[in-house]
Amino acid sequence: MKRLPEAWLPLTFIIPEFPMSRFPRRLFLQTATSILGANSLSPLFGNAPQASPGFVETPGFKPHSLILTWFRDPTTTMVIQWVGTEAEAQDRPIWFAPADEMTWEQQVSTHHRFPMTDLWIHRTELVGLKPGSQYRFRIGLDSEEYKFQTMPSKATDSFRFISGGDSGIDIHAQQTNKLAAAQNPMFVFLGGDLAYENGKDPAVFLQFIKNYSDQLRDEEQRIIPLIACLGNHETQKGYHQPRDSAPFFFAFFDGLFNNGGHAVLDFGDYLSMVMLDSGHTTPVAGGQTDWLEQTLKQREELPSLFVAYHVPSYPSVRPYDLTDPDKSVGFDSRKYWVPLFERYNVDAVLEHHDHTFKRTIPLINSAYDKNGLVYLGDGSWGKIRKPKTTAERPYLAKATENYHLSLHSLEGEQRFHVALSDTGKIVDLYTTRKRARI
């Protein structure tokens, strides 16, 4: 176990042994009724609660993979999605119960084909759950028991989540997965380029989901929810593509991104995550920017307001030019989005794509300002490159060639942003408070 000095902050960082041990069992989950999904093949109602549903003593069914996410209110809902055959879904509703109760309810699933395969995604959205509570669930009567936790409705004394991007499926990504799980975050956010399947190879995307399914469990073996946004490697040709060019991403995350490649997820009254499409299926300028302004304006007084997207406005590797869009990555986002971030009191921006660790200096209008906005990234969960130096890019406060994740701890008025390498080494620690209005 590795601890930060007490003078820095009351955070504990855990470096896991690889591979991590599996499943000490306990009990968890709560009531719900509704379901959200595409191409429903099932009726949308559950049955009355049962004290003894008749679970088998020795579970024999295990899905190909299992992922939890949110399409709306993370304090009272959870979306359970598992991958399997069409036949495997027969007579396998989701059974769920609160951690401290023995009465189970069931909820049937909706089903849609996982593109380019014979497999299906079976989806159940549980709603009406109790905030900040633990739950257990099973897939039918013959699966093992799984667990999750809903988000609190109010900010807790210490609330943490993890961000990163540019994962892939190799050993480096898997080590970062395990390190992320060992920090016991409330959720993980990945900012695009999840699997590197380029919208063409279903086996690669399924392996990414399976790695998540096997490795993203906290110390109590609760499944850690995953939210994500688009990157260029989700689509078949990177940029300016139709929605169906990213078939695998939208097969799992369509419920959140139901009107383009941008969305917002509100966590009670204490945090909003605004996720943008940096030109992959939705143009930066125009409707997305209009939506962004309204979304930020409605949330500028929140205690914590984060924005995330894939292609960086302030790259650590790729070309940068303030005046020539043909010579610069992120030119459009700097032109259309950055002024809105600065105007509406965004706390931090999460960027990816360049495969380094980076933190900028506080910026207003691309120049240092003590009350400015810090951009964190640059997407090296499973991929790395050598960054430019701070002399070459004066807006960089720090940039290193590390596989890394970022642990964000929100503690009262303070925000701690800690970059951990895949070995658990602390690469960077940065502390902020709510930005002053400009």
pLDDT in tens, 225-259: 999 999 999 999 999 999 999 999 999 999 999 99
* Per-residue confidence band for 47, with pLDDT thresholds at 50, 70 and 90: low
DSSP 341: H
pLDDT given for residue 161 in this prediction: 98
Give the list of residues 6+ apart from residue 349 with CB closer than 8 angstroms, or none.
306, 307, 308, 313, 341, 373, 374, 375, 376
Angle at 231 between CA 171 and CA 377, to 5 degrees: 70
Mean predicted confidence (pLDDT) in 325-335 = 93
**pLDDT band of 15, cuts 50, 70, 90:** low
More confident residue, 48 or 389: 389
Paired strand residues for 418: 407, 429
Give the span between the Cα atoms of 283 and 193, in whole angstroms.
18
Q: What three-state secondary structure class fits 358?
A: strand
Q: Do residue 411 and residue 304 come from a single domain?
A: yes
Judge whether 34 lies within some domain.
no
pLDDT number for residue 21: 34
Q: In degrees rounded to 5, what are phi and psi of residue 95?
A: -95, 135
Mean pLDDT of 109-115: 97
* Burial environment of residue 96 by CB neighbours within 10 A (0 to 12, 13 to 18, 19 or more): buried
At a CB cut-off of 8 Å and minimum separation 6, what does 221 contact? 22, 23, 24, 25, 26, 147
* Order of strands across the sheet that contains 104-107: 47-50, 104-107, 94-98, 134-139, 146-149
**Position of tokens 């991958």?**
83
The predicted pLDDT at position 170 comes to 98
Mean pLDDT value of segment 335-357: 97
CB-CB contact of 225 with 74 (8 Å): yes
Asked if residue 3 has pLDDT above 60, the reply is no
In a domain, 31, yes or no: no
> At what angle are helices 202-215 and 171-182 packed, to 10 degrees?
30
User: What CATH number has the domain bearing residue 85?
Assistant: 2.60.40.380
Question: How many domains is the chain built from?
Answer: 2
Least confident of 22-26, 97-101, 154-158: 22-26
What angle (nearest 5°) sits at the alpha carbon of residue 208, between those of residues 205 and 212? 145
Q: Band of the pLDDT at 157, cuts 50, 70, 90?
A: low
Residues 300 and 214 in one domain: yes
Is the same domain home to 250 and 350?
yes
For β-strands 188-190 and 159-164, DSSP reports them as parallel
Q: Note the pLDDT tens digit of each residue in 266-288.
A: 999 999 999 999 999 999 999 99
- Whole-prediction pTM value? 0.89
Inform me whether the pLDDT recorded for 41 exceeds 60. no
**Using 50, 70 and 90 to split pLDDT, how confident is the model at 327?**
confident
Are 182 and 246 members of one domain? yes
Backbone angles phi, psi at 333, to 5 degrees: -70, -35
The tens digit of pLDDT for each residue in 200-232 reads 999 999 999 999 999 999 999 999 999 999 999
Q: Is the pLDDT of residue 181 over 60?
A: yes
Distance, in Å, from the CA atom of 353 to the CA atom of 167, rounded to the nearest integer, reads 10
- Rounded CA separation 163/59 (Å): 34
- Between 126 and 21, whose confidence is greater? 126
CA–CA distance, 248 with 199 (Å, rounded to integer)? 6
Residues 137 and 210 both lie in one domain: no
pLDDT of residue 411: 87
Picking from 123, 149, 175, the residue at the C-terminal end of a domain is: 149
332 pLDDT higher than 80 = yes
Does residue 6 lie within any of the structural domains?
no
Read off the pLDDT band of 352 (50, 70, 90).
very high
**pLDDT band at residue 347, thresholds of 50, 70 and 90?**
very high
Residue 42 has pLDDT above 80, yes or no: no
Which residue type occupies 219? E
Record the tokens describing residue 236, joined without a space. 């078949």
Please work out, in degrees rounded to the nearest 5, the angle formed at the alpha carbon of residue 163 by the alpha carbons of 161 and 164. Answer: 160
Would you tell me how many other CB atoms lie within 10 Å of the CB of residue 437? Answer: 10
> Do 137 and 163 share a domain, yes or no?
no
Strands (DSSP E) found in 252-347: 263-267, 271-275, 304-308
Backbone phi, psi, residue 290, to 5° = -60, -45
Statement to judge: residues 204 and 285 lie in one domain: yes
Determine the average pLDDT of the residues in 373-384: 97
Containing structural domain, residue 143: 47-149
Asked if residue 221 and residue 179 are part of one domain, the reply reads yes
Q: Are residues 119 and 193 in the same domain?
A: no
CA pair distance 329, 318, nearest whole angstrom: 6
d(CA 430, CA 424): 17
Instruction: Give the residue carrying structure tokens 């949110």.
Output: 70
Q: Looking at 131, 149, 167, which one is the last position of a domain?
A: 149
Asked whether the beta carbons of 379 and 351 are under 8 A apart, the reply is yes
Kindly report, residue by residue over 87-106, the tens digit of the pLDDT.
999 999 999 999 999 899 99
- Could you tell me the CA-to-CA distances from 434 to 153, 302, 318, 417, 437 in Å, in that order? 20, 9, 30, 13, 9
> Which pLDDT score, from 0 to 100, does residue 434 have?
79
Distance CA 29, CA 147 (A): 7
Give kind and range of the element (H or E) at residue 251.
helix 247-253
What CATH number is given to the structural domain containing 269?
3.60.21.10
Residues 202 and 350 grouped into a single domain: yes
- Mean predicted lDDT score pLDDT of the chain: 90
